[in-house]
Chains A and B, each alone.
Chain A
Amino acid sequence: KAGVTQTPRYLIKTRGQQVTLSCSPISGHRSVSWYQQTPGQGLQFLFEYFSETQRNKGNFPGRFSGRQFSNSRSEMNVSTLELGDSALYLCASSLNGVNYGYTFGSGTRLTVV
């Protein structure tokens, strides 16, 4: 079966711009969560969506936002990009407790210059 699909794989943006990343979960998975990975801070939870509702949010500024559509696909948006937003952004999908475990996508590598 198809895995978790993230697009685009790579992005280069300029400070001050905004960016939108996309994540399509495994078919049937209704939960999508997002993580930021940087060398300095490691893997940090951004937020999680289930049935188009944000259920959980990490400690990130309001510039980071997301949404989920009725087909469970999710997008995250970062506005007013800063150099420190350069990171690998990973999304994970799960069945929400029915089948323990998270499947991660290949990630989007964002570079802010």
Chain B
Amino acid sequence: ELKVEQNPLFLSMQEGKNYTIYCNYSTTSDRLYWYRQDPGKSLESLFVLLSNGAVKQEGRLMASLDTKARLSTLHITAAVHDLSATYFCAVERGFGNEKLTFGTGTRLTIIP
């Protein structure tokens, strides 16, 4: 059974600081996704990582994937308050599987 773990579960950080969220998964997978969720809202897609060594960046967020280590990271650079949200990673196996297995989520709070 595929298991996806994120850490930390909670993260409180000051504006301007850098930090990394980690996502580990237990078995070989084909695609890894990062989503953002604001309180009471839906999931907003951030990144899709398809292959080993993939790195994607959007603004202050950068995601990377190491399929050999079964690890993805979401790095936040010079955090700003607007980045406060819960971040989820999700893993998909196979093609046409259409099933995501989500991590536990990391609740990120940026303190001004």
Contacts and interface: CB of A to CB of B under 8 A. Distances in A.
A103 interface: yes
A90 interface: yes
Interface stretch (B15-23, B39-47, B71-79): B39-47
B88 interface: yes
A31 B88 CA distance: 22
Nearest to B49: A100
B interface majority secondary structure:
loop
Contacts of B35: 104
A112 to B, nearest CB: 18
Contacts of A35: 100, 102
Interface stretch (A14-22, A41-49, A63-71): A41-49
A55 B43 CA distance: 23
B100 A102 contact: yes
Given A106-B41, A106-B42, A107-B42, A48 B33 contact: no
B59 interface: no
B5 to A, nearest CB: 11
Interface of A: 31, 33, 35, 42-45, 48, 50, 55-56, 58, 90, 92, 94, 96-97, 100-107, 109
